[in-house]
Amino acid sequence: MTATLMDGNSLRDEIIAGLATQIEQMGSPAICLATVLVGDDGPSQRYVKSKHKKAGEAGMVSRHHGLDADATQEEVEAVVRELADDPSVHGILVQLPLPDGLDPEPVLDLIPAEKDVDGLTERSMGRLVRNRPGLVSCTPLGVLRLLEKYSVPTSGARAVVVGRSTLVGLPLSLLLNRKGVDATVTMAHSRTADMAAVVREADIVVGAAGQARMITADMVKPGAAVIDVGVSRTEAGIVGDVDFDAVAEVAGWITPMPGGTGPMTIACLLENTLTAARLQGL
């Protein structure tokens, strides 16, 4: 392998240790992250469990609300409303996607901006667009942290983000475009014509489409930084959007899957929870 491996597990541990120290210095207040999961999807339950475990390591408390897959819109909204009104809860994360038949928009609308640790509400997204301080989606933040940690040059670099969701692709594109980061960003998606040619232009490639191994070695410019966000369940197990073994021979930097962006998402979620607690006066 010629690429430098961008190790999300070790950077996560570093970030969580830093959070634990900060929280101790604050006199160890009970900073609380609440998660809401509707349905019994196995991997979602695993991610949520891992979020709670890591919250404990950071010196935070956490609370989980699990609802049955057949929960009604009203039931989900009632849970979120209760968490929104509860002053002992500092961060609220509603695991997406919700089961078919439930509309996430009115649910997200109930999350107060200062508790929006996923950065998904209209106010948080608006602040991101307007370049004002606010909570930003965790996976995009984690990607930026990895680029920074490994000194990947971003100013003037061409970045291609494959995926334009409000959870990952869109906020990440906005962050990469920000003053100070200064990449020239292309957002690619399922209608992009000649994806291979678009990706080949990139100094920084982010796969956030959820299409198993769609980014192949022939699509990658030699020396590029390749970040894998996608998670697909296949018969071979969990695989990313990047054809890791072959791309690692061409890229300058690459994230492993697992061990790359997943752990960084959790670290940044906890960082957002501390920020949220401070916004609420802790």
Q: Does 140 bind ligand GUE (CB under 6 A)?
A: no
> Is 50 annotated among the ligand-binding residues?
no
Q: Which of 7, 54, 95, 228 is catalytic?
A: 95
Query: Which residue among 38, 58, 262, 267 contacts ligand GUE (CB under 6 A)?
Result: 262
Q: Does 239 bind ligand GUE (CB under 6 A)?
A: no
Q: Does 50 bind ligand GUE (CB under 6 A)?
A: yes
CB closer to ligand NDP, 261 vs 273: 261
Query: Which residue among 26, 61, 96, 279 contacts ligand GUE (CB under 6 A)?
Result: 96
The CB-of-270 to ligand GUE minimum distance in angstroms stands at 12
Whether 51 and 95 have beta carbons less than 8 Å apart is answered as no
Q: Which of 7, 51, 116, 203 is catalytic?
A: 51
Residues ≥6 apart with Cβ < 8 Å to 280 = 87, 90, 114, 115
Q: Which long-range contacts (CB under 8 A, 24 or more apart) does 65-70 make?
A: 65/34, 65/35, 65/36, 65/37, 66/37, 66/38, 67/36, 67/37, 67/38, 67/39, 68/38, 68/39, 68/40, 69/38, 69/39, 69/40, 69/99, 70/99
CA trace torsion 115, 119, 125, 128 (10° rounding): 100
> Is 143 annotated among the ligand-binding residues?
no
> Is 81 annotated among the ligand-binding residues?
no
Cα dihedral 186, 12, 47, 113 sign = negative
For residues 217 and 244, give the distance between their C-alpha atoms in angstroms, rounded to a whole number: 9
CB closer to ligand NDP, 252 vs 262: 262
51 belongs to the catalytic site: yes
280 belongs to the catalytic site: no
The CB-of-175 to ligand NDP minimum distance in angstroms stands at 14
Q: Does 266 bind ligand GUE (CB under 6 A)?
A: yes
Give the strand order in the sheet containing 4-5: 4-5, 253-254, 225-228, 204-207, 158-162, 184-188
Q: Does 45 bind ligand GUE (CB under 6 A)?
A: no
CB closer to ligand GUE, 171 vs 203: 171
Cα dihedral 143, 145, 148, 149 sign = negative
The CB-of-210 to ligand NDP minimum distance in angstroms stands at 3
Q: Which of 118, 203, 241, 243 is catalytic?
A: 118
CB closer to ligand GUE, 157 vs 269: 269
89: how many CB neighbours lie within 10 A of its CB?
21
The CB-of-84 to ligand GUE minimum distance in angstroms stands at 16
Q: Answer with the entry of ligand NDP, ligand GUE, none that 258 interacts with (C-beta below 5 to 8 A by kind).
A: ligand GUE
7 belongs to the catalytic site: no
Write out the catalytic residue numbers. Answer: 51, 95, 118
Q: Which residues are annotated as a binding site for NADP(+)?
A: 163-165, 231
Q: Where along the sequence are the contacts to ligand GUE (CB under 6 A)?
A: 43, 46-47, 50, 93-96, 118, 138-139, 231, 238, 257-259, 262-263, 265-266
